[in-house]
Amino acid sequence: MRWMCAPIYHDAIIFFNAENQIVSILNICLLCSSLLTGEGQDISLDFNAYPRLKDWLKKLGHPVEESAAG
């Protein structure tokens, strides 16, 4: 499904160390199910993980952009 979408990373998870410095970022495109680290590494997950990640972010109160398909 990724080939149909150029990822637009509206969401991210930022990782901090004990000194409160950013050590990495995980960019998330929930529209095309793509993950990219701040270092440019593509992370592949099973497509079942993305709806669960989306639901978890929504439960935390994070606004999630919806695609036309839902």
pLDDT of amino acid 54? 87
CA 28 → CA 18, 34, 50, 57, 58, distances in Å?
24, 6, 9, 11, 14
Residue found under tokens 């592949």 = 44
More confident residue, 2 or 4: 4
> pLDDT, tens digit, for every residue of 30-44?
888 888 998 999 888
> pLDDT, tens digit, for every residue of 44-58?
888 888 888 888 888
Tell me the domain boundaries of the chain: 2-59
**Confidence band for 68, pLDDT divided at 50, 70 and 90:** low
pTM of the predicted model as reported, rounded to 2 decimal places = 0.70
CA 47 → CA 15, 24, 30, 33, 62, distances in Å?
23, 23, 10, 7, 21
pLDDT of amino acid 4? 64
| Pairing of β 22-29 and β 34-37 | antiparallel
